[in-house]
């Protein structure tokens, strides 16, 4: 007899993962890795929300390999993410925006998953309490990772091997997600069968299913780019953006929305439609965003939600990374909007 639905039949991330595991969509090892990521996000959410009263704002006084001044919370968030992944015992290699090179995880007992992540993207917004987020991608266990090395591999051989195994195209992604730290803390992820969002209930510290099978609208009259760089853009891109401002027969131009925080701008695009872009320009030939742990995970999620992710000419997920911190231009969001952009850039 079908039990009547109770108000306590809440789907949490934990129960959702167990259902996916029972359905054979993911294995037990990946469930553990995803649970450890959710724990890291809860800890970072708490740190971010108390940054101003626990002396966590401001600069660390160091720079990362990108030459960017690290904020205190960049460093701490990286430590939180790394230790959660290590203690999961199922992660073979981690690659972080905040680390110069990928790291082989000695604690991995099985699974050997490869996790690439940006522990706190948009951290320049922290001091003003503007939304930030964590972004990650998970690649399949790669048996060659630490097995095709000789008996006594040198540190350099292991390091080189890790770089080779981290630099996989986004089409290999098993799972990807982000956690947005904003007016709500929302963890959004896919394990290859659609995109699901979980809102953190602070009353009992659980991520509760709040967005069941997100679908990006096929079109949307919102564009999200830093027009401060307009003068540096290619002429075709200028023509594209100018076309969005033309009220045309509808009498309504597109709306411009730009937070300056990828996760916040992307999450809005996932729900409302439109396009988010970080173009190349005459100063930054490959744009600013990194392929491995920003553009590929976001493009994977966009495609899982019926949208598109492009570098302006090709599918982001088809790009084979050459370096861990490689940058690419990114245009992501509603299919019709990304395809309109691509047609302008190819004209
Ligand atoms: P700009 C934050 O530093 C970030 O990496 C993304 O989160 C954000 O979308 C972008 O850079 C903002 O860059 O050059 O517009 O300030």
- pTM over cut 0.80: yes
Which of 260, 269, 283 best tests ligand 1's pocket when mutated (most atoms within 8 Å of CB)? 260
Q: Please give the distance, rounded to the nearest whole angstrom, from the Cα atom of residue 225 to the centre of ligand 1.
A: 10
122 CB within 6 A, ligand 1:
yes
pLDDT at 142: 59
262 CB within 6 A, ligand 1:
yes
Q: Is 24 exposed, middle or buried (0-12, 13-18, 19+ CB in 10 A)?
A: exposed
Asked if the ipTM is above 0.85, the reply is yes
pLDDT at 84: 97
133 CB within 6 A, ligand 1:
no
Give the span between the Cα atoms of 84 and 328, in whole angstroms: 29
Give the closest residue (by CA) to ligand 1 atom 14: 226
**Tokens 């394990």 belong to residue:** 191
Is residue 328 within 8 Å of 322, Cβ to Cβ? no
pLDDT at 3: 76
Q: Please give the distance, rounded to the nearest whole angstrom, from the Cα atom of residue 5 to the centre of ligand 1.
A: 44
pLDDT profile of the chain (347 residues), mean per 10: 77 97 96 98 96 83 79 92 94 92 82 93 92 96 61 81 89 98 98 98 96 98 98 98 96 97 98 98 97 98 98 98 97 98 97
Give the closest residue (by CA) to ligand 1 atom 3: 122
């Amino acid at each position: 007899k079908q039990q009547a639905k109770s108000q306590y039949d809440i789907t949490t991330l934990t129960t959702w993962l167990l259902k996916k595991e029972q359905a054979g969509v993911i294995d037990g090892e990946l469930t553990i890795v995803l649970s450890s990521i959710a724990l890291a996000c809860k800890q970072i959410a708490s740190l971010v929300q108390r940054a101003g009263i626990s002396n966590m704002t401001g600069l660390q006084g160091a720079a990362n390999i990108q030459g960017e001044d690290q904020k205190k919370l960049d460093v701490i968030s990286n430590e939180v993410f790394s230790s959660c992944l290590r203690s999961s015992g199922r992660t073979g290699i981690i690659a972080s925006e905040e680390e110069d090179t990928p790291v082989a995880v000695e604690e991995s007992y099985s699974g050997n998953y490869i996790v690439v992540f940006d522990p706190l993207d948009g951290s320049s917004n922290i001091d003003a309490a503007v939304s930030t987020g964590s972004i990650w991608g998970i690649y399949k266990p790669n048996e060659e990772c630490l097995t095709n090395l000789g008996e006594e591999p040198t540190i350099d051989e292991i390091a080189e091997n890790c770089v080779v195994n981290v630099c996989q195209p986004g089409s290999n992604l098993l799972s990807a997600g982000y956690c947005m730290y904003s007016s709500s803390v929302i963890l959004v992820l896919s394990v290859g069968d659609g995109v699901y969002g979980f809102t953190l209930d602070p009353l009992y510290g659980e991520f509760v299913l709040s967005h069941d099978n997100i679908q990006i609208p096929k079109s949307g009259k919102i564009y999200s780019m830093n027009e401060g760089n307009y003068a540096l853009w290619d002429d075709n891109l200028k023509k594209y953006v100018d076309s969005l401002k033309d009220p045309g027969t509808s009498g309504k131009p597109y709306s411009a929305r730009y937070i300056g925080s990828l996760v916040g701008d992307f999450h809005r695009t996932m729900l409302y439609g439109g396009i988010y872009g970080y173009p190349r320009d005459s100063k930054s030939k490959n744009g600013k965003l990194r392929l491995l742990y920003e553009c590929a995970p976001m493009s994977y999620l966009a495609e899982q939600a019926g949208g598109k992710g492009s570098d302006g000419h090709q599918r982001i997920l088809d790009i084979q990374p050459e370096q861990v911190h490689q940058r690419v231009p990114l245009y992501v969001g509603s299919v019709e909007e990304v395809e309109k952009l691509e047609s302008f850039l190819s004209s």
